[in-house]
Amino acid sequence: MCAKVARPAWRGGLSHREPPERDWRGVGFLARIIRFLFWFVILSWAVWLVRRLFRAGAAPSAQPPAPRGGVKLYRDPVCGTHVSPEISFSLEDAGQVLHFCSAECRERYRTSERRAASG
Distance CA 64, CA 16 (A): 80
Residue 83 pLDDT grade (very low, low, confident, very high; cuts 50, 70, 90): very high
Report how many helices (DSSP H) and strands (DSSP E) the chain contains, helices first: 2, 4
Burial group, residue 56, by CB count within 10 angstroms (0-12, 13-18, 19+): exposed
pLDDT at 82: 92
Per the prediction, the chain carries an average pLDDT of: 80
Average of pLDDT values for 54-61? Answer: 69
Q: What is the pLDDT of residues 88-110, one digit of tens each?
A: 998 888 888 999 999 999 999 99
Residue 21 pLDDT grade (very low, low, confident, very high; cuts 50, 70, 90): low
